[in-house]
Amino acid sequence: MTSLRSDRFWRATAWHAERLLTAACVVGAIVAAGDRATVALGAQAATPPAKKAAATAAPAKPPATLGIGRPATPAEIAALDIDIGPEGAGLPPGRGTAADGAPIYAARCAGCHGKSGKEGPNDVLVGRLPGDAFPFARDPRAPKTIGSYWPYATTVFDYIRRAMPPDAPGSLKDEEVYGLVAYLLALNELIPQDAVVDAASLPKVQMPARVHFVPDTRGQPKASAAPLVHKERKER
């Protein structure tokens, strides 16, 4: 697939390159530097014109990159790079405990998620199932809470910080988010009430549901499967 894409890319770009090449030859000058595309295509224009004149000549090959876009500065990247990896990459400085998070939860979260995180009306956040069972395929009443269904604790920090609360998304400070995460993890009995949540401790929180998640294998060709043979498969 990769090679097909490459061919299509070259065919498509070749046409543009040829037009620019022709223009460059007629003018007889290479356009001033300053734009990477112009420089690169100018280099093409410097090849002997006789080559292009031949009726069977292949179209001029464009450069490996077109020089479109501008380099991103480290500050620009840092301003947007807010994601938290499952091993904790990206977690900011700061810390919080359940006691820190409780008043923030009451003020900013309880309206949608309930006083104790179990009442709704929006997503139920709190609650474990007996024996950390995973009955979600057969029991529609089993709530998918942080304690019963979420496979990574880091996701709680990432999501609260980027999208909550809906009336002022992205408004919580890092310390407030750490406090809220600690409060929610403690309510789910995933950490002790007095545990400190920070960049070092959060990725280490064991999530009971984690062991149940497996990659989807639909659409993966089996070694013996012959594609395009009309044979109906078992529902997957």
Partner 1 sequence: MKVSRRDLLAGAAGAVALGTTAAGQPPTDPTKVRGKPSRALGQRAATEKPQRQPRGVTSSGTPHQDLYGTITPSDLHFERHHGGVPEIDPKTYSLLIHGMVERPTVFTLADLKRFPAVSRVHFLECSGNFGGRGTATELTPQQIAGLTSTSEWTGVALATLFREVGASAKAKWFLAEGQDAAVLTRSVPVSKAYDDALIAYGQNGEAIRPEQGYPARLFLPGWEGNASVKWLRRIELSDRPFMTREETSKYTDPMADGTARLFSFLMDARSLITYPAYPVTLSRGWVEINGIAWTGSGKIRRVDVSTDGGVTWTPAKLQEPVLSKAHTRFRHLWNWTGGDAVIMSRAVDETGYAQPTKEKLIASRGISSVGYHTNPITGWQVRADGTVIYHANPWTTT
Which stretches of the chain bind partner 1, using CB under 8 A?
1-2, 5-6, 8-9, 12-13, 16, 64-66, 68-72, 76-77, 80-86, 134, 136-140, 142, 144, 146, 149-152, 154-155, 158-159, 162-163, 166, 169-170, 209, 212-216, 218-219, 227-233, 235-236
For tokens 């790079």, name the residue. Answer: 81
* Short-list 82, 209, 205, CA closest to 154: 205
Rounded to whole angstroms, how far apart are CA atoms 153 and 177? Answer: 13
Least distance between partner 1 and beta carbon 94 (Å): 20
Min. distance of Cβ 71 from partner 1 in angstroms?
6
- Cα–Cα distances in angstroms (integers) from residue 222 to residues 1, 218, 233, in the given order: 18, 10, 12
Q: Specify the 3-state DSSP secondary structure of 95.
A: strand
Taking the complex as a whole, how short is the minimal distance between the CB of residue 86 and partner 1, in angstroms?
Answer: 4
Least distance (Å) from partner 1 to the CB of residue 133?
9
How far apart CA 193 and CA 191 sit, in angstroms, is 7
Min CB(28)–partner 1 separation in Å: 25
| Closer Cβ to partner 1, 7 or 194, answer by number | 7
CB-neighbour burial class of residue 63 (10 A; exposed 0-12, middle 13-18, buried 19+): middle
Considering beta carbons, is residue 119 or 213 the nearer one to partner 1? 213
Nearer to partner 1, 111 or 169 (CB): 169
Nearer to partner 1 by Cβ, of 68 and 223: the residue is: 68
In the bound state with partner 1, the residue whose beta carbon lies nearer, of 49 and 170, is 170
How deeply is 137 buried, as exposed, middle or buried, from its count of CB atoms within 10 A (0-12, 13-18, 19+)? Answer: exposed
- Tokens matching residue 201: 């401790």
ω into 49 cis (within 30 of 0): no
> Smallest distance, Å, CB 184 to partner 1?
12
Nearer to partner 1, 105 or 157 (CB): 157
